[in-house]
């Protein structure tokens, strides 16, 4: 049978958005390389949304590759050792979120001794598994959303059964500099598609969409070459725009449906999974391998040799920066891209499951001014993909009235940075909105405690 699949060039998109300089040319043609395992790795016990894991090992314990070293009940996924060796310590260590986190520090013996529990499965064995069994395998492998959200994948799957009629794989990767998913789709398209088919089986659906921007033609062709019409998987090519990769905007671009305020994608019958998450699902189901490595783009305007690297979880940012080199002292190092990434204060922090990029910038941003003043031009309203009014949201932060802040629908902000990028007054809008959300959450927690 001739291998043909449907490729649809989408002509409509979401409201707002911007076109920042992509700067993907720095690393998009750099093939994925295995990063040499460091001598010491720091594995945080929280790499997901939900309850942190409790360490299952102590100082001096031997560990093997893929061994479970942390777990907990409730909304949680386990954490595994990325290498074999010995536990050096279990202690609080700096984390890329800007806090400290209980972590397992492992001395690598460089033997690569595999955990005995890791057993590959044949296609016949996978075909015999039920959706419930597949979700438990994904759970025990510690798979989370790898686009940055880090929501436990098994929970997204289980909560969507019976509600989801449309599966969307997010290969858009709209953030500047980042090319990790682009290279994944170019070099390992069969593994991404294999994971998509597992998701289709769990939901009991015969169709799925792979959404990719039109600035990644090689990746789209590589995916298309692995598909035939019988697979039921469509490749949807979208016009490049930021923040196309945000799931609510992606759902609108693919289906025309709009997720309601405060709602989840399942409310409109959709489920969105990152391309790297699909590959991790394949690894868990077919290889029996938990999520212990991921592809990371290391790039930036002062990086001498930008790279896409397969990195063991727990590798420090310092190690990655040494691998690429810089032409000047960094002004800022980000976990993620320049639009939504988090500035790092300590470069000993480790790579986690949600780290898709380390972006190294070498000069002071134009967005830093001492006394910014809003000129009420309304540009932030024009570009907000959530149809919010950032100018009024920012003004509400000047008050002490939490109800007034809530009334601006600040909790719907996805912190994409479009407003700050386009603001001619250089207002710290996203920083302010994050602070406003914290005030709303604190107020809600205080009100709840009074009722008890």
Q: Which of 131, 260, 283, 141 is nearest to 205 (CA)?
A: 131
Give me the pLDDT at residue 1, please.
42
Q: Is residue 128 part of a domain?
A: yes
Are the C-beta atoms of 249 and 243 separated by less than 8 Å? Answer: yes
Residue 223 lies in a domain: yes
Query: Is residue 263 domain-shared with residue 403, that is, in the same domain?
Result: no
Residue 48: the pLDDT is 94
Contacts 24+ apart (CB under 8 A), 339-343: 339/20, 339/175, 339/176, 339/242, 339/243, 339/416, 339/417, 339/421, 340/148, 340/175, 340/243, 340/415, 340/416, 340/417, 341/175, 342/96, 342/97, 342/98
- Give the strands of the sheet with 85-94, arranged side by side: 40-44, 100-108, 85-94, 62-63
Res 230: pLDDT: 81
Q: Which CATH number goes with the domain that contains 197?
A: 3.40.50.11540
Say whether both 151 and 266 belong to one domain. yes
Give the separation between CA 308 and CA 184, rounded to whole angstroms: 9
Q: Is residue 396 in some structural domain? A: yes
Q: Are residues 160 and 263 in the same domain?
A: yes
129 and 243 part of one domain: yes
Kindly state whether residues 392 and 281 are assigned to the same domain: no
| Residues 25 and 127 grouped into a single domain | yes
Q: Is residue 275 part of a domain?
A: yes
Dihedrals φ, ψ of 201, to 5°?
-65, -40
User: Is 350 contained in some domain?
Assistant: no
Q: How far is it, in rounded angstroms, from Cα 156 to Cα 266?
A: 9
Does residue 20 form part of some domain?
yes
Among 236, 253, 287, the domain boundary falls at 287
> Which phi and psi (to 5°) does residue 348 adopt?
-85, -5
The secondary structure element, H or E, covering residue 153 is helix 153-160
Same-domain pairing of 140 and 251: yes
pLDDT of residue 366: 61
Give the per-residue pLDDT at 211: 96
Residues 402 and 280 in one domain: no
Q: pLDDT in tens for each of the 452 residues of the chain?
A: 456 666 776 656 788 999 999 999 999 999 999 999 999 999 999 999 999 999 999 999 999 999 999 999 999 999 999 999 999 999 999 999 889 999 999 999 999 999 999 999 999 999 999 999 999 999 999 999 998 889 999 999 999 999 999 999 999 999 999 999 999 999 999 999 999 999 999 999 999 999 999 999 999 999 999 998 889 999 999 999 999 989 999 999 999 999 998 889 999 999 999 999 999 999 999 999 999 999 999 999 999 999 999 999 999 999 999 999 999 999 999 999 999 999 999 999 999 999 999 999 997 666 567 778 899 999 999 999 999 999 999 999 998 899 999 999 999 999 999 999 999 999 999 999 999 999 999 999 888 888 76
What CA–CA distance (Å, rounded) separates 293 from 191? 15
- The answer to whether residues 139 and 262 belong to one domain is yes
**Separation between Cα atoms, residue 258 and residue 244, nearest integer Å:** 14
**Which of 259, 287, 315 lies at the terminal end of a domain, its last residue?**
287
CA angle 342, 43, 47 (to 5 degrees): 50
- The model carries a pTM of 0.94
Residue 365: its pLDDT value, please?
A: 61
Q: For the chain, how many structural domains are there in total? A: 2
Evaluate whether residue 86 is within a structural domain. Answer: no
Per the structure, the complete domain to which residue 264 belongs is given by: 7-31+122-287
Q: What pLDDT is stored for residue 447 in this prediction?
A: 86
Let me know if residue 298 belongs to a domain.
no
């Amino acid at each position: 049978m001739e291998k043909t699949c449907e490729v649809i060039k989408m002509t409509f998109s979401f409201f707002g958005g911007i076109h920042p300089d992509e700067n993907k040319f720095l690393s998009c043609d750099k093939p994925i390389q295995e990063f040499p395992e460091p001598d010491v790795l720091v594995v945080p016990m929280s790499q997901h949304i939900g309850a942190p894991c409790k360490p299952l090992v102590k100082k001096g314990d031997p560990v093997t590759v893929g061994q479970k070293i942390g777990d907990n009940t409730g909304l949680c996924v386990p954490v595994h050792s990325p290498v074999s060796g010995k536990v050096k310590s279990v202690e609080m260590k700096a984390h890329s979120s800007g806090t400290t986190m209980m972590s397992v520090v492992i001395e690598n013996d460089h033997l690569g001794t595999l955990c005995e529990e890791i057993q590959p499965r044949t296609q016949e064995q996978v075909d015999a598994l039920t959706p419930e069994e597949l979700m438990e395998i994904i759970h025990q492998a510690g798979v989370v959303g790898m686009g940055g959200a880090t929501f436990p994948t098994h929970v997204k799957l289980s909560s969507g059964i019976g509600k989801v009629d449309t599966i969307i794989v997010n290969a858009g990767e709209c953030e500047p500099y980042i090319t990790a998913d682009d290279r994944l789709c170019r070099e390992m398209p069969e593994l991404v598609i294999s994971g998509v088919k597992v998701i289709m089986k769990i939901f009991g659906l015969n169709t799925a969409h792979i959404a990719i921007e039109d600035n990644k033609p090689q990746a789209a062709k590589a995916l298309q070459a692995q598909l035939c019409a019988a697979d039921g998987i469509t490749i949807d090519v979208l016009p490049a725009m930021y923040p196309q990769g945000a799931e609510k905007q992606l759902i609108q671009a693919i289906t025309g449906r709009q997720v309601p305020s405060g709602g989840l994608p399942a409310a409109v019958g959709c489920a969105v999974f990152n391309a790297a998450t699909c590959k991790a699902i394949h690894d868990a189901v077919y290889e029996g391998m938990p999520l212990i490595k991921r592809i990371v783009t290391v790039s930036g305007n002062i990086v001498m040799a930008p790279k896409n690297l397969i990195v063991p979880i727990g590798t420090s940012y310092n190690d990655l920066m040494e691998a690429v080199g810089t032409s000047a002292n960094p002004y800022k190092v980000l976990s993620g891209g320049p639009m939504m990434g988090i500035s790092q204060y300590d470069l000993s922090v480790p790579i986690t499951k949600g780290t898709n990029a380390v972006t190294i910038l070498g000069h002071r941003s134009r967005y830093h001014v001492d006394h910014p003043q809003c000129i009420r031009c309304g540009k932030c309203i024009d570009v907000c993909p959530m149809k919010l009014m950032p100018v009024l949201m920012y003004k509400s932060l000047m008050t002490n009235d939490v109800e007034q802040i809530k009334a601006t629908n600040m909790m719907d902000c996805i912190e994409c940075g479009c407003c700050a990028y386009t603001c001619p007054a250089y207002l710290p809008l996203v920083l302010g909105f994050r602070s406003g959300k914290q005030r709303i959450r604190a107020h809600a927690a205080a009100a709840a405690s009074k009722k008890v």
